[in-house]
Amino acid sequence: MIITLTNQKGGCGKSTATMNLALGTAALNYKTALIDTDEQKSCLETLGDHSKSNLTLYEAREDVEDLVAEIKSKFHFIFIDTPPHSHHIMYRAMAVSDFIIIPLQASPLDIRSAKRTIDACERVQKEVGHDIPCYFLLNRVNPRTKLSKEIGTYIRELYSVPLLQSRLHNRVAYAQSLMHGKSVIEHSRSSDASLEVTKLLKEVHRIFQEKS
């Protein structure tokens, strides 16, 4: 299963979510790859050497399709992190994906700015000639607000792309754990952050099984 996390908007949590999902999947004993297509190398530099775990890191740019074709058979899961503002790379990563996640922050401005990413996703689906499940992931939700219902309605009025039920809240654990090259699950298994990433992983795996 190949999962791309993408959104042309910078800073919405693509790399944070990609690393946590990839590390969480590897910890479940699945052979997992993470392809970093961002020249900022956020994932590669943050995670460093992971050669002893089930997670293998790769770097790619416009050649992401070739890399995926080459390594696909070796892994159960491949996660692709994409750069902001690079239409080409985002497009190519989407085209080889089985599942697309668009992280976004729970604000009207961020939601509206996802339009270009959604348009690209629709074009990719036409080009490849089949449906690629595509979902929004709300990130950095303030744990003390009950914004979810309103945000859900706001998103539905603008887009037909569904929203994952799981969401990631705004928590220092996301930065803290990555400071040690770890996911929030490895950092503290019983933390709220760990529980929400575990829930997200289960939801993504379940949706994929239902659709395949």
Ligand X SMILES: Nc1ncnc2c1ncn2[C@@H]1O[C@H](COP(=O)(O)OP(=O)(O)OP(=O)(O)O)[C@@H](O)[C@H]1O
Q: Which residues contact ligand X (rule: CB under 6 A)?
A: 10-16, 38, 42, 83-84, 139-140, 168, 170-171, 174-175
CB of residue 54 vs ligand X: minimum separation in angstroms? 22
Q: Does 8 bind Mg ion (CB under 5 A)?
A: no
Q: Which stretch binds Mg ion (CB under 5 A): 9-17, 63-71, 108-116, 137-145?
A: 9-17
Q: Give the one residue of 2, 5, 14, 164 binding Mg ion; rule: CB under 5 A.
A: 14
Which residue's structure tokens are 């699945």? 30
Shortest distance in whole angstroms from residue 173 CB to ligand X: 8
Which residues, in sequence order, are bridge partners of residue 103? Answer: 137
> For residues 16 and 113, is the Cβ–Cβ distance under 8 A?
no
> Do 138 and 163 touch, CB atoms closer than 8 A?
yes
To ligand X, the closest distance from the beta carbon of 169 in angstroms equals 6
**38, amino acid identity:** D
Residue 187 contact partner, candidates Mg ion, ligand X, none, CB within 5 to 8 A by sort of partner: none
Among 7, 15, 54, 177, binds Mg ion (CB under 5 A): 15
Nearest distance, CB of residue 8 and ligand X, angstroms: 8
Q: Which is nearer to ligand X, 170 or 191 (CB)?
A: 170
Asked if 86 touches Mg ion (CB under 5 A), the answer is no
Q: Which stretch binds Mg ion (CB under 5 A): 8-16, 25-33, 169-177, 194-202?
A: 8-16
Residues with Cβ within 8 Å of residue 17, at least 6 apart in sequence = 5, 101, 103, 137, 139, 168, 200
Residue 68 burial class via C-beta count within 10 angstroms: exposed 0-12, middle 13-18, buried 19 and up: buried
* 174 contact, one of ligand X, Mg ion, none, CB 5-8 Å limit per kind: ligand X
Q: How far is the CB of 130 from Mg ion (least distance, A)?
A: 28
Closest listed residue to residue 61, CA positions, set 37, 41, 30, 92: 37
Q: How far apart are CA 201 and CA 204, in angstroms?
A: 5
Gap between the Cα atoms of 24 and 52, Å rounded: 15
Residue 194 touches which of ligand X, Mg ion, none (Cβ within 5-8 Å per kind): none
Stretches 25-33, 35-43, 133-141, 172-180: which one binds Mg ion (CB under 5 A)?
35-43
Residues 6+ apart with CB under 8 A from 65: 92, 95, 96
Residues that bind Mg ion (CB under 5 A): 14-15, 42
